[in-house]
Structure 1
């Protein structure tokens, strides 16, 4: 028993590190994009989309990662009936918004990059009002749709009736006995698959456009290329990495979840890896933007200089 508790503690610390890194990265980006939106004279639609994405990712980590880490560390009965419903509802909404926003970001960049799309659509998607409307509709859609699913969350798990092998379960899963629940689950699966298919399609279109562009300019000196082209190419590369991460983590998490349901007594290692993979995208995606977006590093460098300036003058 002591060895099992020690293993649970190790996994709990691992979850805590992953959750802390994800919340820190998303919070830094949230501060940066909010500051950029507030102070910018011209709103950039891409910044509006990214601001919503990091906000949704942070909500996913807070609603899923924090309770899961607490459960892994051995804290019992920290959520009541209302707490389970609220946490489950926020997680489903934030997860859905994160998926929709990643799909929106991929589609937005594809429309900007691909010349085959009509000029009217390109003008409309560049409008901040259109992007704000899309972001608002994402939240409204998932807030409304997931209300029905929350009614099937019964309440907190009675830890006395659970063995130590059934870990990280702070609230029971919904009871899928109702026919309407099964229909809603199929609809959710279909919409998730449509979003993933759309992301794959737009990503493939962007890869094809970049490949053709590279073939056209391979005999032209790099100095003759416009700055706009290089910026668009860098942004496209970032989004392609982001979409690849999302699809990979989502597919692997789905495989592991299905595998666990098929096993009569899944191992603790398999359950723990499934938890880590399920939170992989929301944890690592902000660091892709931090590394690839030069504005982020310049912003925090300037902020650091401003905070250190009073100390320098005070020492004179």
Structure 2
């Protein structure tokens, strides 16, 4: 094994272990709150869905790539490859959906009482809850065709329609079909990203106005609930900005991979490392805040 492969192996292993430990600690925290009968906030309920999505991403992406970088390439059969990639895509889709709904719900929560969102504040938990469940259903449906093109690793490079990755392979169709498939799979992600950026921008404006008012109004006139809401808002903004940063880099790497018939192992591993960054970092952002 070359030095570069050893470094990548250590990175994958560290990401997987740290990410699983962080998400496990957060899941254990919520289980203890359930056990003692504490009433959780609605944002905590959305975060629980994000934790499940993080587990899917880390288990289906981090562990196989970790095993692959240590030299064991053909350890998954056709069913294993299809299931691994399918569950990873579901986890990725639910992750962006949960982060988006977390941002939208918090934007509605801190909106001004005199605004047109007043009535929406009362009904928003039921609306957002339905949307979160629908994001799971949508993820299962949209990605259903994805595993159809996956197969176990085949090193026969003479097959022109075959793209060989680290531990699996995928059939390459004509360029037009690949572009149509990529656009279809990207539509939900684009919609979620637009909603996420819009709600985040709105929250930044609210925080700025709040800061301007704080210069003229004594702190004692603000309730603890109000300050707690703004602390939660800053945490969610941190989560959203982290997600957008890693997701943008991941998309650029995925586009790069799609342009090449047989991408190099380095590009494949770099894309996988970036894809696992948010599931690894996000639980610690929540814990620290």
* TM-score by shorter chain over 0.5: yes
Moved more, 46-55 or 110-119: 110-119
Q: 2: CA distance between counterparts of 1:111 and 1:84? A: 41
Aligned residues: 283
With normalisation by structure 1, the TM-score equals: 0.81
With normalisation by structure 2, the TM-score equals: 0.88
Structure 2 portions without partners, runs of 5+: none
Report how far residue 48 of structure 1 moved: 0.8
Aligned to 1:311: none
Aligned to 2:125: 126
Query: Structure 1 residue 190 and structure 2 residue 187: aligned?
Result: yes
Match of 1:147, SS? coil
Question: Alignment partner for residue 48 of structure 2, among 51, 54, 58?
Answer: 51
Query: Structure 1 residue 24 and structure 2 residue 48: aligned?
Result: no
Q: 1: CA distance between counterparts of 2:87 and 2:251? A: 20
Question: Alignment partner for residue 59 of structure 2, among 45, 62, 85?
Answer: 62
Structure 1 portions without partners, runs of 5+: 293-316
Q: 2: CA distance between counterparts of 1:270 and 1:146? A: 23
Question: Alignment partner for residue 106 of structure 2, among 84, 92, 109?
Answer: 109
Query: Structure 1 residue 98 and structure 2 residue 95: aligned?
Result: yes
Match of 1:76, SS? coil
Tell me, yes or no, if the aligned pair for 2:111 and 2:117 is still in contact at 8 Å.
no
Report how far residue 271 of structure 1 moved: 4.4
Q: Higher Cα Rg: structure 1 or 2? A: 1
Tell me, yes or no, if the aligned pair for 1:176 and 1:182 is still in contact at 8 Å.
no
Tell me, yes or no, if the aligned pair for 2:142 and 2:185 is still in contact at 8 Å.
no
Which deviations, in whole Å up to 9, do the C-alpha atoms of 1:142-165 show, x marking residues without a partner? Answer: 112222222222x11124759xxx
Q: 2: CA distance between counterparts of 1:62 and 1:167? A: 21
Q: 2: CA distance between counterparts of 1:167 and 1:74? A: 15
Tell me, yes or no, if the aligned pair for 1:77 and 1:159 is still in contact at 8 Å.
no
Distance verdict in 2 for CA 1:171–1:266, change over 3 Å: closer
Report how far residue 269 of structure 1 moved: 5.1
